[in-house]
């Protein structure tokens, strides 16, 4: 393709006519390195590999500057398809976290389904058994001017997730949903997957050390390559525009969970074969950037070159080499393996698991080999269509983006205390951001693997016991509040980390590692890039100050071992609110000791830990009751937060608690109501706000602020006779325990302040509001 000698406008016209999204300077730099005009296939390969999605060209420097990724439990940080942390000396948990935002806005069902399909491949290719998924979701305003489209997207996304996950046979154990008008034209579909692998059976997503010397095979397995998903990474690296919607549909991949199920079983046979043979292979899934991305990254990571012959690829008919190179056809993996295993590997997929008869055209094919050189070479019909330095292709480029804070005006509203707290609490419980999530998770098969210990809706985190015969449990929670990010991107990041860790601690698990999916606007705009940088700083500060339990004396940061940056989440109407979505993995030595959040027995004492502060900025109370955002966003008081998390974990480990629930969205009032309303909802409660302490300077807070402030904390239900020991643990961490009330046999939520009853709600009435909120928003 002609680059050299053309003017910038002419190069731009040539690129756009070919459907290539790279900039003119990028195209010129490629021609300069090659010393000639690049071929069309080469430009397509570079366009994919240098996209924001694949190269992290705007974000990589910031991530490296701030985020901690090392720790005593880290087996593999964010260098390959998934992160890995140790559970014990034998077992490890594998975790990956990605986004599938743009595809899900265009084709919600297919976009969300392929998001799940991609994330489970990332985990499986590390040699792991996939054991769970989670789905943090963000949708637009279901009652706003674009309500019809918002509801169509939300229903389609949920359908895609359950249809793929249930058919695949992997349980969904968690996630969260937020509705917010900034997502009207750009939903967020973030996906998390967990796997379990023995430490001595981990497989790397790179060419092994002997691959170049021995000329290892490059074997493509799975679906025949077609044109589906073509340009997916470029599409994900641009802002959404309504006029491009029809064109962009072709960039959305086509899922097939049934084929994936068969591939996972065949992969298990592959893993057993290489263990028996004592050989090392490379294994990687094909996702964004298609074949070129997977192949070149594996070769480059091993320090080798690669020769590929597209004629040997199983594929749809009449596709040009540039399409075969970067199409994002789903349900594919790439193997780099020694030649002496070639026939046995092909037999596993083509004969033992009979891929050609599972899906037409599916199979395993040898498509190339590794060499000791430094070139990525692709031939097609006897011609070389790509011959580039492999490190240059995969190394990407880096941009130093400008940053500037947006000019916004925020203020605390002057609002009167409500006269009817019953009405206020019912409205908040009915809000789609607070209401029960049962309307969504009822579709998810949480029992499919028989490993569920705590299911969605039962507690602040999901919990599985993934290995038969072992007592340990693995917990997972996801969190992020875009309303906080709107006010302060920094505290939006820090509070997401803190809440994810609180949620895991609330069932008794020790926060072990974090992942992040960083969802922001156009990094070429200084305001969006500033929001991104601030969010990362907030995430990093929280990681470095909340400490890994057991290593707090060394001030060991909680490591981030996997994640994703998703830019260009905007439309002509504007950018999404800054949304750093955090997933926290927790480990329990004994899953049987975990607690849930529903109230257990009349007469049990209820404790509040965590003073209430005047922090209602971004709160559900302000938005739902007054339609305002506010300014006093919750902040993280690191020593207090750390001590609360540690104390709750210790109390559960000592068998002192019947239930625990963290305080976040909706404040203390929502947390109390949720404990009473969560199934089986047999008991009520009565609390006295006179026993609730405000923070420094907030000792005499109004009742509405005490109830609806979203400052962090926990509500704990103590087992009878354990109160003294619980208070001793709390005080040992410097925490002031507030015994605010008791569980009652009367099925009512009663909130008093001294002799005045503020709220007195029948559980059935409250439950009806809580159950109705989400179905009403999504119908």
Nearest to 390 by CA among 300, 467, 287, 274: 300
C-beta separation of 637 from 541 below 8 A: no
Token readout for 383 is 């011609």
Coil/strand/helix, residue 439: helix
Report d(CA 719, CA 715) in Å as an integer.
Answer: 13
Nearest to 711 by CA among 730, 727, 726, 698: 698
Coil/strand/helix, residue 268: helix
Q: Is 100 labeled as catalytic in the residue annotation?
A: yes
312 Rama sector, left if φ>0, alpha if ψ -120 to 50, beta otherwise: alpha
Report d(CA 725, CA 244) in Å as an integer.
Answer: 63
Q: Is 314 labeled as catalytic in the residue annotation?
A: no
Q: Which residues contact 644 (CB under 8 A, 6 or more apart)?
A: 502, 609, 610, 712, 713, 714, 733, 735
CA atoms within a 13 Å half-sphere pointing along the CA-CB vector of 505 = 28
Token readout for 582 is 């955090």
338 Rama sector, left if φ>0, alpha if ψ -120 to 50, beta otherwise: beta
Q: What are the residues facing 187 on neighbouring strands?
A: none
Report d(CA 726, CA 728) in Å as an integer.
Answer: 5
C-beta separation of 559 from 72 below 8 A: no
A 10 A CB-CB count for 469 gives: 5
- The end-to-end CA distance of the chain, in Å, is 50
CA atoms within a 13 Å half-sphere pointing along the CA-CB vector of 285 = 27
35 Rama sector, left if φ>0, alpha if ψ -120 to 50, beta otherwise: left
Find the farthest-apart pair of alpha carbons in the chain and give their distance in angstroms, rounded: 89
Tell whether the torsion through CA atoms of 424, 430, 432 and 437 is positive or negative.
positive
DSSP string, 530-585: HHHHHHHHHHHHHHHHH--TT-GGGTPPPPEEEEEEE---EETTEEPPPEEEEEEE
Q: What are the residues facing 571 on neighbouring strands?
A: 574
Q: Exactly one of 100, 102, 314, 392 is catalytic; which is it?
A: 100
Tell whether the torsion through CA atoms of 692, 674, 686 and 642 is positive or negative.
negative
Cis check for the bond before 246: say yes or no (omega within 30 of 0): no
- Residues annotated as part of the active site: 53, 100
């Amino acid at each position: 393709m002609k680059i050299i000698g053309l003017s910038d406008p002419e190069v731009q016209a040539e690129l756009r006519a070919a459907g290539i999204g790279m900039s003119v300077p990028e195209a010129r730099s490629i021609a300069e390195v090659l010393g000639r005009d690049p071929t069309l296939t080469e430009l397509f390969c570079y366009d994919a590999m240098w996209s924001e999605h694949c190269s992290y060209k705007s974000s990589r420097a910031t991530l490296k500057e701030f985020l901690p990724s090392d720790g005593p439990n880290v087996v593999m940080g964010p260098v390959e398809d998934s992160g890995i942390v140790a559970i014990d000396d034998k077992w490890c948990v594998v975790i990956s976290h990605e986004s599938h935002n743009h595809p899900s806005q265009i084709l919600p069902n297919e976009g969300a389904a392929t998001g799940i399909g991609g994330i489970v491949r990332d985990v499986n290719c590390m040699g792991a058994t996939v054991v769970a998924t989670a789905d943090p979701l963000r949708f637009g305003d279901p009652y706003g001017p674009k309500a019809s489209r918002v509801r169509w997207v939300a229903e389609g996304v949920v359908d895609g997730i359950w249809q793929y996950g249930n058919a695949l046979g992997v349980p969904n154990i968690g996630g969260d949903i937020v509705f917010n008008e900034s997502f009207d034209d750009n939903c967020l579909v973030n996906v998390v997957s967990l796997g379990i692998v023995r430490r001595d059976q981990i497989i790397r997503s790179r060419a092994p050390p002997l691959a170049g010397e021995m000329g290892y095979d490059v074997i493509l397995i799975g679906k025949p390559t077609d044109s589906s998903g073509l340009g997916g990474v470029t599409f994900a690296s641009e802002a959404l525009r309504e006029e491009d919607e029809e064109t962009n549909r072709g960039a959305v991949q086509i899922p097939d969970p049934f084929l994936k199920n068969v591939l996972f079983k065949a992969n298990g046979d592959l893993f057993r074969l290489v263990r028996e043979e004592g050989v090392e292979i490379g294994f990687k899934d094909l996702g964004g950037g298609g074949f070129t991305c997977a192949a070149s990254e594996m070769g480059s990571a091993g320090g080798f070159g690669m020769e590929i012959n597209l004629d040997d690829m199983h594929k749809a008919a009449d596709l040009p080499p540039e399409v075969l190179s970067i199409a994002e056809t789903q349900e594919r993996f790439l193997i780099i393996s020694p030649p002496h295993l070639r026939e046995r590997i092909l037999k596993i997929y083509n004969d033992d698991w009979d891929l050609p008869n599972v899906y037409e055209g599916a199979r395993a094919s040898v498509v190339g080999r590794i060499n000791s050189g430094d070139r990525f070479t692709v031939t097609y019909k006897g011609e070389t269509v790509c011959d580039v330095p492999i490190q240059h292709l995969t190394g990407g480029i880096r941009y130093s983006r400008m940053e500037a804070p947006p000019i916004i005006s925020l203020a605390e509203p002057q609002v009167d205390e409500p006269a009817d707290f019953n009405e206020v609490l019912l409205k908040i419980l009915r809000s789609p951001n607070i209401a029960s999530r049962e309307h969504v998770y009822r579709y998810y098969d949480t029992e499919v693997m028989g490993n569920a210990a705590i299911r969605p809706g039962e507690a602040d985190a999901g919990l599985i016991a993934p290995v038969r015969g072992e007592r340990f449990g693995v917990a997972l929670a996801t969190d992020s509040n875009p309303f906080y990010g709107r006010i302060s991107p920094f505290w939006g990041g820090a509070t997401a980390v803190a809440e994810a860790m609180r949620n895991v601690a609330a069932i008794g698990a020790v926060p072990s590692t974090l992942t992040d999916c960083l969802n922001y606007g156009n990094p070429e705009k200084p305001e969006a890039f500033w929001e991104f940088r601030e969010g990362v700083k907030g995430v990093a500060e929280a990681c470095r100050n909340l400490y890994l339990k057991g290593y707090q004396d060394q001030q060991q940061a909680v490591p981030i071992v996997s994640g994703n940056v998703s830019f260009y989440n905007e439309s002509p109407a504007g950018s999404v609110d800054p949304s750093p979505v955090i997933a926290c993995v927790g480990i329990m030595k004994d899953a049987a000791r975990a607690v849930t959040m529903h109230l257990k027995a009349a007469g049990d004492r209820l404790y509040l830990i965590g003073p209430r502060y005047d922090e209602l900025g971004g709160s559900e109370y302000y938005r739902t009751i007054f339609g305002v955002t506010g300014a006093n966003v919750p902040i993280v008081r690191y020593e207090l937060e750390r001590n609360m998390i540690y104390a709750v974990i210790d109390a559960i480990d000592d068998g002192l608690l019947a239930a625990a629930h963290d305080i976040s969205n909706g404040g203390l009032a929502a947390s109390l109501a949720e404990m009473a309303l969560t199934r089986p909802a047999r008991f009520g409660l009565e609390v006295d706000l006179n026993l609730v302490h405000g923070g420094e300077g907030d000792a005499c807070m109004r009742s509405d602020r005490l109830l609806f402030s979203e400052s962090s904390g926990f509500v704990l239900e103590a087992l009878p006779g354990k109160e003294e020991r619980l208070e001793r643990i709390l005080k040992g961490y410097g925490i002031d325990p507030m015994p605010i009330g008791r569980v009652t046999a009367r099925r009512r939520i009663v909130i008093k302040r001294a002799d005045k009853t503020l709220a007195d709600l029948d559980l059935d009435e409250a439950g009806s509001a809580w159950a109705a909120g989400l179905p009403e928003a999504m119908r």
